[in-house]
Structure 1
Amino acid sequence: MKVTRIALSKNLNDGKYAQLVQQASQLGRVRSLVWRQYGSVAGVGVRDRTIRDRWLRDGTAAGFGVLANAWKETVRDAVADITANREAAKAKVRRAIIRHTTDDAERKRLFTALKYDTWTADPYLSRQMRGHWKHGRNRTHNQIVVRSDQYRTFTLAEGGNVWLAVPGLERRQLVRIPLNTTMEPTGTLRLIIRGGRIEVHYQIHDGALKSSRRPCGTREIGVDKGYSEVLTDSDGRRHGRELGRLLTTESDQRKLVNAHRAKLRSIAEKASARGNHAKAQRIWTNNLGMLKKERRDAAWRARIRDVTFQAVHTVVDKAAMIVAEDLTKTFTSRKRLGKNTNRRLATWTKGVTAEALEAVSGRKGSAVRLVNAAYTSQAVPFTDNLGVRKGDRLHCPCGAVWQADHAGAINILHRASDPDITPHTPYRRVRQILQERTDRQRSRLPDQDSSAGSTCRCGERTIRSLLNREH
């Protein structure tokens, strides 16, 4: 498997930055020309080499103002984007074919024509492709694709950061870019000019990534996945504390924006019903588009992933075995939490946390074990007593107070060695097991009138100091 790494320029001067901006702008015009001429039916079955040879023969390439290798790589990259765009439309057409006919032979014929791009001769497939595959346009004017044999890397001092030398606008003119890393980029590079700096994107094999990262720790740690923070471990440390703020802020913002959009949608529908189609079209075009919304959502998802992966890295740095709760099942009590709480929980990215645990642990050599999550945040640690959960506090019958996520992380760690509670044990059976254990503990007491709190050993763990400790 390949993964993408990103290196950033560091202290790049204005002259070099201006050269790269100019080169990317001129290559953007090349990319736009490819999309304009071959981004529709005219480009079906046309390879990038065919386009290159055609432009060299008719003299089109002479007006690009960039080196041959630069615009040829841009053509190859643009054709790949067009192909991906066309394949995405084919997925929708395949679903339409399934609804269109139940004849296996006819389905096979249509699928074959779609796969080998011979659908232009079939009226049904042509009609479907025209409906699902829209002529795209280029909006990328800030990228430079550099082939692996067209750049070189070097360092100015032993152990120092890497410098990257890439071709400029003229032959034998190299633009030297200082990077913020000691790892040398490899393979084909994609330079993205954004925010006054250069992003160098390149792919490496997952095995190389493992060897480039520090190893995992040596301990066994339980973690509780949370909403206000990404993880709380069994040591009481909270990782990724800004997660709750990001989720709540985004959820409240979406509620406000969607309310405004619903009002505008209502106005547009009423205008259309009254025959004022021009007004309705203006609202749909200028006020109810999805471009800004999708950009905001993408930026928010990227921020959530960044916070989540950083938090998981800090846990894996000290753990060889991570015991986590299995949250693949849905909540059963969300209807009692109120509309605002349910809405915010709907944005809880527990799937991203699970993905990060699997990916980071696999790269660093640690292991993840999933356990049954039932009652882990309601049972008092080191006992089988069910406490009283109030907010983020868990009250033990003996009077001690636990931070609920910390208690959950400890219980999750201990549940990994519990022979009675498996990952597939129903939650009602889990509660019954915990209650039976508590009853057995009480039956061993010499005084049967003693309170349940007398069996509790959680006070031996210096709860007050753990509760008040800030990290």
Structure 2
Amino acid sequence: MKITRIAYSTGLNPGKYAALLEQARRLGQVRGEVWQRYGSIAGVGSGLRDRQVRDRWLADGTHVRFGVLANAWKETVRDATADIAANLASAKVEVRRAISRRAGDPAERRRLLTALKADRWAGDPFLARQMRKHWKRGQNRTHDQIVVRADQHNTATDGRGQLWLAVPGLQRRQMVRIPLSTTVAPMGTLRLILRGGRVEVHYQTDASQMRSSQRPCGDRTIGVDKGYTEALTDSDSERHGVRLGELLTSESDRLKQRNRRRAKLRSIANSAAGRGDHAKARRITANNLGTVKRDRQAARHRARVRTEIFTAVHRVVDKAATVVAEDLTKTFAGRTTLGNNINRRLAAWTKGVTAEALTNVSERRGSALVHVNAAYTSQACHRCGGLGRRSGDRLHCTACGVVWQADVNAAINILQRAGDPDIALHTPHHVVRQILQDRTDRRRTRLPVQDSSPATAERRANHPNRSAMSN
């Protein structure tokens, strides 16, 4: 398994950064040209490959007007065509779902799926309509990246222990040497991202060589639920990543105060520009409304959150050979509209980080990750199966009269859902609710009759699967 590592430049000369920035700007034009010409049905959508694009550009002289070295623009063409292909594959996922909803005949479904896989969807009206709906021509907005091939860079360490990375510049045989803040030399194909006067060097490495990947996993089956104040809660009532809520809350409060001050300064700048004092408006914009410091603070916050979540997942895998969890890549639309401050505290993007951590850590350490249907796991009592009332971090079961910790209850339900023969991963939520209600009604009918009146006895005899409480 390959994972992405990031190395940062330290003390980079402004002249070198300007040269790299100019090279990235020109390569951004290369990306834009690829998206404009080939980001449609007649381009990559018809099976066109990056080598064919390079051959066409060499034949008609398109590459000359970009003013970059051959290896640089060729690698950029390869990267851009891969982005278009990924965009196309993402659209095909949605089209497959539409085929499953529309085609009831297995033969017709198989024909449509085969045509979609072989890129022959342009001739079928239904497939062409769905592809136009889910796959639209994109537009390049990346002008700060440089892709460097594995054999085009080298590293060296000076006498003070400083690691230097040498990458090609705009001129042939002219290398740009970048000082790095790490002692581990980047290997393979590199992606240089230029942000705020600093260079980020992204590269892939083998995860099996990392110390964390060599830790053995446990031998149990554990269900986990994503919490609000912690990263994960398992079915053993143990919480993992308890600092996550504190990190999100403190960052939300800081952003609220900062955005309030920035809004006030922006209003002052707009008022100054409105009365003709454009010099004051430019000073405020340049000195107080910049994005470099803001982006670096956001990056540090994301790094701290990722560390907390990955550490929590490692603790779960320490005792679990099989981790049962909900599919956190799905989106759930809530009925309640929340404010910006609450949304920042809930931080929906942490769901993606948690899903990534569960997948990567489980694969690296040899444990199995099982996804289950999460519908009503936070609202159903794990003991009796009845739907209760959720209030904060408490679940009040109206059937058995017990109050459970909501996240622990959900983790136990997720663990039990792994062996449920009736509720599959993609069972609709309304079907899940009906299954849970039917099970609760059947369980209630086995209880002793509390009311021995003739009317109640007759109603139970006529409706054996219903109860007075369900009415």
TM-score (norm 2): 0.61
Distance of aligned partners of 1:368 and 1:246 in 2 relative to their CA distance in 1, 3 Å threshold: same
* 1:91 has 2:31 as partner: yes
For the Cα contact (< 8 Å) 1:320–1:367, is it kept in 2? Answer: yes
Between the aligned partners of 1:370 and 1:33, the Cα distance in structure 2 is 51
Q: State the partner residue of 2:416.
A: 414
Q: State the partner residue of 1:315.
A: 316
Distance of aligned partners of 1:432 and 1:307 in 2 relative to their CA distance in 1, 3 Å threshold: same
Between the aligned partners of 1:385 and 1:353, the Cα distance in structure 2 is 29
Alignment of 1:159-198 (within 5 A): 167-168=158-159, 192=180
Secondary structure (helix, strand or coil) at the match of 2:221 reads: strand
For the Cα contact (< 8 Å) 2:29–2:66, is it kept in 1? Answer: no
Deviation by residue 1:155-198 (Cα, 9 ceiling, x = unmatched): xxxxxxxxxxx6516xxxx89xxxxxxxxxxxxxx9855xxxxx
For the Cα contact (< 8 Å) 1:326–1:371, is it kept in 2? Answer: yes
1:112 Cα deviation after fit? 3.2
1:5 Cα deviation after fit? 7.2
1:89 Cα deviation after fit? 5.3
* Letter in structure 1 aligned against 2:434: Q
Between the aligned partners of 1:240 and 1:280, the Cα distance in structure 2 is 44
Q: State the partner residue of 1:241.
A: 242
For the Cα contact (< 8 Å) 2:30–2:66, is it kept in 1? Answer: no
Secondary structure (helix, strand or coil) at the match of 1:383 reads: coil
Between the aligned partners of 1:264 and 1:110, the Cα distance in structure 2 is 53
Secondary structure (helix, strand or coil) at the match of 2:390 reads: strand
Between the aligned partners of 2:420 and 2:56, the Cα distance in structure 1 is 52
* Letter in structure 2 aligned against 1:264: L
Secondary structure (helix, strand or coil) at the match of 2:359 reads: helix
Between the aligned partners of 2:316 and 2:61, the Cα distance in structure 1 is 46
* 1:112 has 2:57 as partner: yes
Q: State the partner residue of 1:285.
A: 286
Between the aligned partners of 1:281 and 1:96, the Cα distance in structure 2 is 35
Alignment of 1:55-454 (within 5 A): 82=23, 86-88=26-28, 90-92=30-32, 94-95=34-35, 112=57, 117-120=63-66, 146-147=155-156, 167-168=158-159, 192=180, 199-202=182-185, 204-209=205-210, 213-337=214-338, 340-347=341-348, 349-397=350-398, 398-447=400-449, 449=451
Distance of aligned partners of 1:370 and 1:4 in 2 relative to their CA distance in 1, 3 Å threshold: closer
Deviation by residue 1:71-124 (Cα, 9 ceiling, x = unmatched): xxxxxxxxxxx5x66545543454466799x9999xx799837998422489xx
Q: How many residues align?
A: 331
Between the aligned partners of 1:311 and 1:421, the Cα distance in structure 2 is 28
1:373 Cα deviation after fit? 1.0
Between the aligned partners of 2:232 and 2:212, the Cα distance in structure 1 is 26
1:309 Cα deviation after fit? 0.4
Distance of aligned partners of 1:103 and 1:323 in 2 relative to their CA distance in 1, 3 Å threshold: closer
Between the aligned partners of 1:411 and 1:428, the Cα distance in structure 2 is 17
1:286 Cα deviation after fit? 0.5
Deviation by residue 1:186-234 (Cα, 9 ceiling, x = unmatched): xxxx9855xxxxx433464223338962111111100001121000000
Between the aligned partners of 1:350 and 1:223, the Cα distance in structure 2 is 13
Secondary structure (helix, strand or coil) at the match of 2:210 reads: helix
For the Cα contact (< 8 Å) 1:305–1:352, is it kept in 2? Answer: yes
Q: In terms of mean alpha carbon deviation, does 286-295 or 321-330 score higher?
A: 321-330
* Letter in structure 2 aligned against 1:364: R
Secondary structure (helix, strand or coil) at the match of 1:244 reads: helix
* Letter in structure 2 aligned against 1:284: T
1:261 Cα deviation after fit? 1.5
Distance of aligned partners of 1:35 and 1:5 in 2 relative to their CA distance in 1, 3 Å threshold: closer
* Letter in structure 1 aligned against 2:427: T
For the Cα contact (< 8 Å) 1:6–1:200, is it kept in 2? Answer: no
TM-score (norm 1): 0.61
Secondary structure (helix, strand or coil) at the match of 1:224 reads: strand
Secondary structure (helix, strand or coil) at the match of 2:183 reads: strand
1:308 Cα deviation after fit? 0.4
Between the aligned partners of 1:206 and 1:445, the Cα distance in structure 2 is 55
Between the aligned partners of 1:445 and 1:354, the Cα distance in structure 2 is 42
1:337 Cα deviation after fit? 4.7
Question: Tell me, which stretches of 5 or more residues in structure 2 are unaligned?
Answer: 74-140, 147-153, 163-177, 187-204, 453-471
For the Cα contact (< 8 Å) 1:209–1:363, is it kept in 2? Answer: no
Between the aligned partners of 1:112 and 1:414, the Cα distance in structure 2 is 58
1:378 Cα deviation after fit? 1.0
Between the aligned partners of 2:35 and 2:272, the Cα distance in structure 1 is 35
Q: State the partner residue of 2:81.
A: none
* Letter in structure 2 aligned against 1:352: V
Distance of aligned partners of 1:118 and 1:289 in 2 relative to their CA distance in 1, 3 Å threshold: same
1:440 Cα deviation after fit? 0.5
Secondary structure (helix, strand or coil) at the match of 1:417 reads: coil
* Letter in structure 1 aligned against 2:409: A
Secondary structure (helix, strand or coil) at the match of 1:201 reads: coil
* Letter in structure 1 aligned against 2:64: T
Secondary structure (helix, strand or coil) at the match of 1:260 reads: helix
Distance of aligned partners of 1:133 and 1:449 in 2 relative to their CA distance in 1, 3 Å threshold: same
Between the aligned partners of 1:314 and 1:291, the Cα distance in structure 2 is 35
Secondary structure (helix, strand or coil) at the match of 1:255 reads: helix
Provide the identity percentage.
Answer: 52
* Letter in structure 2 aligned against 1:91: R
Between the aligned partners of 2:32 and 2:231, the Cα distance in structure 1 is 36
Deviation by residue 1:436-468 (Cα, 9 ceiling, x = unmatched): 000011112231549xxxxxxxxxxxxxxxxxx
1:259 Cα deviation after fit? 2.1
1:342 Cα deviation after fit? 3.3
Secondary structure (helix, strand or coil) at the match of 1:445 reads: coil
Between the aligned partners of 2:336 and 2:344, the Cα distance in structure 1 is 11
1:352 Cα deviation after fit? 0.3
Distance of aligned partners of 1:268 and 1:32 in 2 relative to their CA distance in 1, 3 Å threshold: closer
* Letter in structure 1 aligned against 2:159: G
Between the aligned partners of 1:405 and 1:299, the Cα distance in structure 2 is 28
